[in-house]
Amino acid sequence: MSNDMLKNELYTKCIYFVNTRLDAVRKTIQELQESLSAETKSTAGDKHETGRAMVQLEREKAGQQLAEIQKVNQVLAKIDMKKSSKIIGLGSVVFTTQANYFIAISAGELKTGNTSFYAISPNTPIGQILLGKSAGDAIAFREQVFTITEVM
């Protein structure tokens, strides 16, 4: 698989990850809205108000999750898929003697073919260590030392 194809596949998997989360949060918001709309004033007044307050809190939490997803989408939008650099930065695919990374968003493990990559944010501890490094550099992380073998 070519470097561009690999990078595009990892990027597409990150987009899918974000869209799946976005769909789940939107569905939750819709269900909460329906729950609020369906509530009718009951004779157990205090219980009714407590229930509405709980639904409202859940709705606010879902709104915060939605805002976080929008921030993640903004990070993905900043990745220039045509840019290739030997210095690790946003959008880099990094091969090391221990694990492989895609510097983009925190999306966990992504598999492409028989190879696993960890999609990580540049703001994570390992992301911070990798930024600015290049092939041949040794990295110490969590009492382990490994070497960057390739950067795309």
Three-class SS state of 28: helix
Cα separation, 94 vs 101, whole angstroms: 5
pLDDT of residue 47: 62
3-state secondary structure of 146: strand
Distance CA 79, CA 90 (A): 6
The domains of the chain are located at: 3-77, 93-151
Q: Which residues lie closer than 8 Å to 56 by C-beta, 6 or more apart?
A: 36
pLDDT of residue 40: 55
Are 107 and 90 contacting, i.e. CB atoms less than 8 angstroms apart? no
Cβ 132 vs Cβ 103: under 8 Å: no
Each residue's pLDDT tens digit, 84-105: 889 999 999 999 999 999 999 9
Query: Tokens 């999306």 identify what position?
Result: 107
Show the low-confidence residues of the chain (pLDDT under 50): 43
